[in-house]
Amino acid sequence: MEGSAKGLQTVQRAVRLLQCFTVNEPEISLTKLTQKLNLPKSTTARLIDTLIDVGMLERNETNFNYKLGHSVYVLGRVAEISNDVVQLATPLMKQLRDETNESIALFKIDGNKRVCVQRFVSLEVVTHNVSIGSKLELVVGATGKSLLAFQSSEFIKELVETVQDQDRLMQQLEEIRSTNQALSIDERGAGVNAISSAIFSISGNVKYSLSITGPSMRFTEEKMKQWQDRLLKDANKLSQELGFKGR
């Protein structure tokens, strides 16, 4: 029993050690790892040696710091495949469509456009539908703006220069960055309203955005605001499942 408890403690320490490495700190010295773990240097060194043996860590022979090994990369690729955004979002989107009775779409940024990669269409007679594979502008509509708002300043500047009312668009993007909630009324054609929230990757980048769209006669501004927090909650849930720890 005592041996099992000690083995579990070793596993927990090994996991904590691996979690010390981040995108901003991909290489760490033995001294710093010891400080982060609050363990004796000899204990940390033994953990490191074990993780090197199984390929989870590697030593940089130039500066003698440690970094994640190839085995971690392989596991990461497996996790990436199993946590595919479309796969994760699909059941959530269907439930959201059934509850709101409006169309739900998942868009991915593609160059200076956005492309629909998944959608669930409203079951109402009058509805708004975008086909999978459809490419649309980033500077128009709630979904486009929710994607654009979290891109680099250089990318945003380049696209904003293509619109007439640049000050208004920049203000909208700033508000979206603050709340992660975008709303558009009749922007992509008369009678089409939408709300959207971005999905963050583990590194904090935004490539996907979730949206609810519907005809303005039914998906009114009041109804849009009613569902904004729920949509944001679902987008945040997807972000967390992808490993994002912010917001």
Instruction: Classify burial at 198, counting beta carbons within 10 Å of its beta carbon; exposed 0-12, middle 13-18, buried 19 or more.
Output: buried
The answer on pLDDT for 7 being more than 80 is no
User: In CATH, what number is assigned to the domain containing residue 212?
Assistant: 3.30.450.40
> Is 246 inside a domain boundary?
no
Cα dist from 178 to 83, 119, 126, 140, 148, whole Å: 27, 26, 33, 19, 13
Structural domain for 30, as ranges: 2-80
**pLDDT (tens digit, 9 = 90+) per residue, 174-198?**
999 999 999 999 886 668 899 999 9
What backbone torsions phi and psi does residue 118 show, to the nearest 5 degrees?
Answer: -160, 145
Range in 28-37, 72-81, 111-120, 178-187 the model is least confident about? 72-81
The answer on pLDDT for 6 being more than 80 is no
* 205's tokens: 């980048």
Total domains in the chain come to 2
**pLDDT (tens digit, 9 = 90+) per residue, 221-245?**
999 999 999 999 999 999 998 888 8
On whether both 113 and 149 belong to a single domain, the answer is yes
Q: What is the pLDDT of residue 74?
A: 81
**pLDDT (tens digit, 9 = 90+) per residue, 83-92?**
589 999 999 9
Q: Which amino acid is at 140?
A: V
On whether both 90 and 75 belong to a single domain, the answer is no
CA distance 194 to 182: 8
Q: What is the pLDDT of residue 75?
A: 81
On whether both 112 and 91 belong to a single domain, the answer is yes
On whether both 223 and 166 belong to a single domain, the answer is yes
Do the beta carbons of residue 122 and residue 97 sit within 8 Å? yes
> Is 247 inside a domain boundary?
no
Q: At what angle do helices 153-160 and 166-179 cross, to 10 degrees?
A: 140
Q: What is the pLDDT of residue 80?
A: 63
The answer on pLDDT for 9 being more than 70 is yes
Mean pLDDT across the chain, nearest whole number? 90
